[in-house]
Structure formats: C-alpha cells, structure tokens
Structure 1
Amino acid sequence: MPEPPTSADRIAALEEEVAQLRRAVTAHAVVDQAMGVVVGYARVGPDTAWEILRDVSQRTNTKLREIAEHVVQWPRCGWLPQEVRGALDTAVLRRAAQAGRPLRRPERPELPDRPGRAAR
C-alpha cells in the first residue's frame, strides 16, 4: 500500500501547479494581445483572429504561444519570420474567401517587413 503524501510532497505539488498556472496566464495574455494585432491587420473579429492564429500555428508546426509572441512583437520591430508571415497572409485570405469578401492581400503595416528596410 502506497504511503500517503507528506506535507512537503503536497507543498511541492502545489508549487508546481501554481507555476503552471502562472505560465498559462502569461501565455493567455500574449495570445489575447496577438489577437488584437490580427484584428487590426486583417480587419476581422476576435473569433476569426483566434482561428487565424490557430491556423498559422498548425501550418507552421509552431506552438500557438510562440506565434503569438512573434505577432505581438511585429508592430514594434516591423518584422515577422517569413514562414509565419506567409502562413498569416494565407490564413487571412482563406478567411476572407470563406466570408465572401474580396480576395486581396491585407494592407501592410506602416512598419518595415525586415530589420533595416525602410517603410513603404
């Protein structure tokens, strides 16, 4: 018969649970911020922005949190990794087609696409 957990074991388990919850809250906040960027970029609602981020994550085989971190930094640095940018634009165009909107590439932000490149 297994021994019951000690107080120290229970404290360690609770500390690990608290750490996991903190990471989840942080990741959730970054995803929410990235959704806001996508809403502004693609002129879509929050639900569609979530679907676009999820699609980019799946198509690039990258964790959603990592995609969100890139997207949140994009307006500040003006650059997205090429694979992420391509998947983002493809997802936006796909959602536009599903919604019956004209198929056109979203407007580029005023910031440069790559470090060292002037804005258009």
Structure 2
Amino acid sequence: MTFFALSQTHPLRLLSATDLANECARLEGENAQLRRAVSSHAAVDQAIGALVVLGRIAPEDAWRVLRDVSQHTNTKLRAVAEDVLKFAQGGALPEPERDELWQAIERCRG
C-alpha cells in the first residue's frame, strides 16, 4: 500500500515507512498534549465554580484569584486548581496557597 502526504508545497509526496512512523509518533504526542490541556482546562473551570461558591465572588474574580494564587505561590495554575477542588471536597490546602487564596478573595471583595 502506498501513502502520500498532501501539503501546499509538495502536493503529492510518497511517504516511506520511516516517514509514516515519525508522523504517527508526532500525532500521538500531539494527541497526548491535547488530552492534558483538556483535562487541565476542566480542572480550572471546576475550581472557578468552587471559588464562586466558597468565596461568594463572580466567575471573573474567581479566575483572578486562581491566577494570583498561582503567581504568588509559584505554583502551576493546574495544581492550584486541583488543590482548590480537593479543598472544596473537605481536603486541606497547602499553607502558602491557603493564605494567598483568602487574601486574593478579600482583594476581590474589597
């Protein structure tokens, strides 16, 4: 079976088995990256919802709170969102995040 690549610069180019394997590996990597991005986005969205309820703030403010906590504690946004979700379910927040979280919420309310 013969496979061709279509592109603007080379309308039809015969692909070798190596080319196909490389393209497959590239696409698998891209797929994995997209799955992580979707998962991370979902966690952030859920954490925003939790902060809206817990902090009694608007969704835009909840986004700012997550971002501020991430920046001020030097913690990835996804990790802060996951910690907030655990906290909303009765878990504990790491102390630096907890302190910054309440300060950021107060700044939004103030």
The whole-number CA distance in structure 2 between the counterparts of 1:48 and 1:95 is 6
Q: How does 1:63-82 map to 2 (within 5 A)?
A: 63-82=76-95
1:37 — aligned with what? Answer: 50
CA contact (8 A) 2:57 2:108 kept: no
2:107 — aligned with what? Answer: 94
SS of the residue aligned with 2:92? coil
Q: Does 1:58 align with 2:75?
A: no
Q: Does 1:19 align with 2:70?
A: no
The whole-number CA distance in structure 2 between the counterparts of 1:93 and 1:73 is 21
Q: Could you give the per-residue CA deviations for residues 20-61 of structure 1, whole angstroms, max 9, x where no partner exists?
A: 000000000111111011000111111111011000000000
| TM-score, normalising length: structure 1 | 0.74
CA RMSD in angstroms comes to 1.4
Q: Does 1:84 align with 2:97?
A: yes
The whole-number CA distance in structure 1 between the counterparts of 2:106 and 2:88 is 20
1:118 — aligned with what? Answer: none
Name whichever structure is richer in helix by fraction.
Answer: 2
Query: Which letter maps to 1:50?
Result: W
User: Where does structure 1 differ by over 4 angstroms across 4 or more consecutive aligned residues?
Assistant: none
Bigger Cα Rg = 2
Shift of 1:77: 3.0
| TM-score, normalising length: structure 2 | 0.80
Q: In the comparison of the two structures, how many residue pairs are matched?
A: 94
